[in-house]
Amino acid sequence: MDKFSFSITQTSKKSRARTGTLRTPHGSVETPSFVAVGTHASVKALGPDDVHMADSSIVLANTYHLFLSKTHAVIKKTGGLSRFMRWDGPTMTDSGGFQVFSLGFAKDHDIGRNSSIFPGENLKKISKAKDIKESQHVKILDEGAVFRLPDGTRTVLTPEKSISIQEDIGADIMFAFDECTSPLATWEYSKEAMERTHQWATRSLEAKKRGDQALYGIVQGGEWDDLREESAQKISSLPFDGFGIGGSLGKTKKRMFELIGFVHERLPEQKPRHVLGVGYPEDIPELIRLGADTFDCVAPTREARNGTLYIKEGRLSVEKAENREDFSPIDSSCVCFTCQNFTRAYLHHLFRSRELLYFRLASIHNLSYINAITRDIREKIKQGRF
């Protein structure tokens, strides 16, 4: 693929941290880099200029939600995701695998449980069956996933369909369809789901038609080292342009980082690596130390909307009365648009008054804060100080 490339520019002598450049048809991304989440082709509360102002260089949209609203077809007619959302930088789309997991397991049990498997049953037959109970939101078959839409109708998502939707959306980087297992899944089920993910990875590659999009394979295997090693070996043996680490990563932060490092050590050095769904401020130094090139998370903008702002001491709850007459910026060391122009007192007022401007200003700050952490580490790697 001549329009996508990745080059490593600097490596740390003390860890797996590295800097590099992702080149895509819509521009380059200096890595390591945080990927801003724009689920519905929009980073919530922010326009493209705001996202640029927060120093983000790449945005990730959600395949499942754009498919659910049939917006993927509209995006195709528009000429692709970047043109549709008026974002002139690189873009990613996830595969929809995590949303299938959350639609079924998480919907029933918050954290989730294993889905039912129907060996030998035909996908088409299952999708039209009359005896699927209302409580059974999703069925995972070797052919794909059958699930209920919010209006009660059944639909099917297969590797081929996921790739087709992502090609309609037209992001620069897309992910192979995978099965995301519950943190409560057993070793036996995690192995079965991993093997299915490997089959789906091959089918995703075979389904890909466009030459101007990169395709990443996803390493699964739950919290088990042996499964993660097997998955890393299998996925890295396939001709993907890069790799994602997804699925359940253990039940503690310590275990999550152990698994991320374990997988990174088993992936090819010359290809980019993305960690899916991880990116709190405190996570970023360790993610980069372990070798992550890119990573995404909804946390910065979601926490901002809920009244939590990032500061060097940790978190600021903007709703607290102590902020009512505090005329200092959110964080005195932050140079974002919000901190340079507005006070804690004003953000407190906006939040308590439910003024829409709050969401924009708070989201700009949190996203800028995350990007500043990442940018600072990137510079330290270049200088040999990380």
Q: Do 270 and 315 share a structural domain?
A: no
Q: State whether 143 and 198 are in the same domain.
A: yes
Residue 273 and residue 197 share a domain: yes
Tell whether residue 180 is among the known ligand binding residues: no
Looking at residue 276, what is its pLDDT? 96
Clarify whether residues 338 and 373 are in a common domain. Answer: yes
- What integer pLDDT is reported at residue 127 of this predicted model? 42
211 with 328, same domain: the answer is: no
d(CA 163, CA 201): 11
95 is in an annotated binding site: yes
| Residues classed as catalytic | 94, 296
- Confidence at 347, pLDDT banded by 50, 70, 90: very high
Task: Say if residue 314 carries a ligand binding annotation.
Answer: no
Residues 223 and 327 placed together within one structural domain of the fold? no
Q: Is residue 237 over pLDDT 80?
A: yes
Burial-class residue 382 by CB neighbours within 10 Å (0-12, 13-18, 19+).
middle
Lowest pLDDT segment from 44-48, 139-143, 186-190, 333-337: 139-143
The answer on 281 and 225 residing in a single domain is yes
**Domain extent for 12:** 5-297
> pLDDT at position 103, please?
60
Residue 220 annotated in ligand binding: yes
Give the pLDDT score at 106.
41
Task: Based on the fold, state whether residues 321 and 268 are members of the same structural domain.
Answer: no
Answer with the residue of higher pLDDT: 202 or 111: 202
Any idea which of 95-99, 321-325, 354-358 has the lowest mean pLDDT? 95-99
* pTM, rounded to two decimals: 0.91
pLDDT value, residue 108: 43
Residue 183: predicted pLDDT: 84
| Percent of the chain at pLDDT exceeding 70 | 90
Which among 297, 317, 350 is the end of a domain? 297
From 243, 275, 297, give the residue that closes a domain.
297
Query: Dihedral through CA 145, CA 146, CA 147, CA 148, nearest 10?
Result: 160
User: Collapsing DSSP states into helix, strand and coil, what is residue 215?
Assistant: strand
Per-residue pLDDT band for 323 (boundaries 50, 70, 90) equals very high
Same domain, 209 and 330: no
Last residue of a domain, one of 297, 327, 348: 297
Picking from 238, 256, 250, 241, the residue whose alpha carbon sits closest to that of residue 293 is 241
Nearest to 71 by CA among 210, 166, 144, 209: 166
- Find out whether 178 is annotated in a ligand binding site: yes
Q: Pick 225 or 139 by higher pLDDT.
A: 225
Query: What pLDDT shows up at residue 102?
Result: 66
In the chain, the number of structural domains is 2
What digits encode the pLDDT tens for the residues 143-169? Answer: 998 887 777 788 889 999 999 999 999
User: Where is pLDDT greater, at 51 or 116?
Assistant: 51
**Structure confidence at residue 133 (pLDDT):** 30
* pLDDT score, position 182: 82
For position 73, what pLDDT does the model report? 97
Q: At residue 111, does pLDDT exceed 70?
A: no
Residue 297, annotated ligand binder? no
pLDDT for 206 beyond 50: yes
Q: Report the DSSP pairing between strands 33-37 and 294-296.
A: parallel
CATH code, 53: 3.20.20.105
Q: Are residues 288 and 313 in the same domain?
A: no
Look at residue 118 and tell me whether its pLDDT is greater than 50. Answer: no
Q: 196 and 75 in one domain?
A: yes
Structure confidence at residue 14 (pLDDT):
92
Same domain, yes or no: 281 and 335: no
∠ Cα 215 276 105 (to 5°): 110
Is residue 365 part of an annotated ligand binding site? Answer: yes
- Is 270 marked as a binding-site residue? no
